[in-house]
Structure 1
Amino acid sequence: MPRERTFDAKAVKLNYLDYGSSSDPPLVMLHGGAWCWQEYLSLIPSLGAQGWHIYALDLRGNGLSGWVPDTYCLQSFAADNAEFVSRLNAPAALVGHSIGGVIALMVAAQCPDKVRALIIEDSPLTLNNYRKIIDSSRDMFGLWLHLKKSAQSQHELSLALADAYKDYPGVTSAWILFFAGCLWQLDPTFFNTL
């Protein structure tokens, strides 16, 4: 049965989905920045059916994981997830999207004997590209935080996001609802140290 659990890392409690048989090889999924483990919800059942024991984690400050204000840097994320991976019974395949991909690479470098494979999605693979993405996204991050701070509820945040993205044809209602939930749970200091 799939269950959400918590993992006590040294600095923070991490929330994660535990899905699959303990006899299957581990697959650790790391979401993109300001999102949560549910980013992978549509993939989890089929990956589980293919014989993977899935651990989909919320990064610190995201989803239902603990907040540690102003500590949201790559090294901290990597330390949390390396600690998680090092406690698994077998080497894991790591899947990472965007910042999750960078974190997966860092975890593999920190504990190569505990990582059997990497699947990296849409990740900046150089520090220079990472800086460019962060710098070009500051206005967007500012808008998200403004909408979050102005909203009185997740429902109100959903409506504000829908209004902000009304001219973006690829943005769907499902994305708005998903992202509003992620943003509502996000530590407001998440973007400070990125």
Structure 2
Amino acid sequence: MTASSVSLHINETPPVRRELELEDGAVSFLEWKHGRGQPALHFAHANGFNGMTYSRLLSPLAGRFHIRAWDARGHGQTRLPADPSGHRRWTIFRDDLIRMVENFAAEAGGPVLLGGHSMGGTTSLMVAAERPDLVRGLILVDPVMVSRGARLMLQLFRLMGRKGGPLSLAEGAERRRAVFPDRATMAKAYKGRGAFRTWPDEVIADYVEGGTRSRDDGQIELACAPAWEAANFRAQDHDIWADIARISCPLTLIYAGATSTCRAPAPELLGRRDPQATLLRIGRATHFLPMEYPETVRREMLDLDARLSD
């Protein structure tokens, strides 16, 4: 099968929200499933986001894949403990995702294609390193690859109580407004600003819908608390470079030409792990390339699936 032979069936059926009960709470996820025998695809979101943020990216693929998109711990509708104190590495997300993918693989009858954006891409790679038996292939969309030098500097800034530098993203997250009168006001506040500058209006609406909860006073608040989002930016004690050296599955990397979090030598090292890998740099894209170039991301998902099916 070639990529060109795979037809993309546009399916506007909304996903179903489901939960996976774990010993410490429940993981909430969106699911698109149409028929039997579809290859399984799980997509993991960026820090501070949620599965619904990517629903317009993923929905057109529902005719081809059985899709799940989770809300990670501390995000969206998932009900797992998320304590920022002592949070130092993303292995907590890796371990959660392993349990999620174990369930998905059992239901799908085989390994799962893992996709993810930013933190979600990094977490998916960590799962592939730890549990290669569960992973059919990887679609990495501008994953976070913090160099060892930058990680050391971040640790030093944290220990010394210094501000700015590598901690600026965390400090910005802590200052985020968490409470709004309603979702329409929140979406309007985000439109055309900051990280949302290049996002289509409908994707902002999905992000707000999937990432908020109602309060007793009638207002709405972010489901991902600013303190948890900030803690995730700081929590870089995991060694992603050691994980890269352990992966063995086919992969595709799509990364941004501007403001990318996938810095050298990550693309070269990933290419060494899979000599047939697609390593696609989109020069005009920012870190938010799934929102800016969804057609490209979908095309590469189909292309990797076609390569795995040959």
Instruction: Give yes or no for the alignment of 1:177 onto 2:205.
Output: yes
Give the direction of change, closer, same or farther, for the CA distance of 1:169–1:5 in structure 2 (3 Å limit).
closer
Structure 1 or 2, whichever has the larger Rg, is: 2
2:169–2:230 contact (8 Å) kept in structure 1: no
Give the direction of change, closer, same or farther, for the CA distance of 1:128–1:135 in structure 2 (3 Å limit).
farther
TM-score for both structures, normalised by structure 1: 0.81
| C-alpha separation in 2, matches of 1:171 and 1:44 | 16
Counterpart residue type for residue 64 of structure 1: Q
Structure 2 partner of 1:81: 97
Aligned CA-pair RMSD: 2.9
Instruction: Give yes or no for the alignment of 1:193 onto 2:223.
Output: no
**1:18 Cα offset (Å):** 1.7
Q: Deviations over 1:37-81 (max 9, x none)?
A: 12221232332222x111111111111111413156411111111
2:27–2:78 contact (8 Å) kept in structure 1: yes
Which residue of 182, 193, 217 corresponds with 1:153? 182
**Which deviates more, 184-193 or 101-110?**
184-193
Structure 2 partner of 1:118: 138
Instruction: Give yes or no for the alignment of 1:137 onto 2:173.
Output: no
Equivalenced residues, count: 188
| C-alpha separation in 2, matches of 1:6 and 1:15 | 4
**Structure 1: runs of 5 or more not aligned:** none
Matches within 5 A, 1:1-194: 2-20=15-33, 21-50=35-64, 52-70=65-83, 73-87=89-103, 88-89=105-106, 90-126=110-146, 128=148, 131=151, 135-144=167-176, 147-149=177-179, 151-162=180-191, 165=193, 170=198, 172-181=200-209, 182=211, 184-194=222-232
| C-alpha separation in 2, matches of 1:107 and 1:9 | 18
Partner SS state of residue 43, structure 2: strand
Partner SS state of residue 92, structure 2: helix
| C-alpha separation in 2, matches of 1:129 and 1:62 | 29
Counterpart residue type for residue 55 of structure 2: L
2:45–2:51 contact (8 Å) kept in structure 1: yes
Structure 1 partner of 2:281: none
Partner SS state of residue 27, structure 1: strand
**1:109 Cα offset (Å):** 1.5
Counterpart residue type for residue 137 of structure 2: A
Counterpart residue type for residue 27 of structure 1: L
**Structure 2: runs of 5 or more not aligned:** 1-12, 155-164, 213-221, 233-310
1:5–1:15 contact (8 Å) kept in structure 2: yes
Counterpart residue type for residue 10 of structure 1: E
**1:86 Cα offset (Å):** 1.5
1:70–1:192 contact (8 Å) kept in structure 2: no
**1:172 Cα offset (Å):** 4.9
Partner SS state of residue 46, structure 2: coil
1:69–1:189 contact (8 Å) kept in structure 2: no
1:86–1:111 contact (8 Å) kept in structure 2: no
**Which deviates more, 131-140 or 7-16?**
131-140
Counterpart residue type for residue 101 of structure 1: G
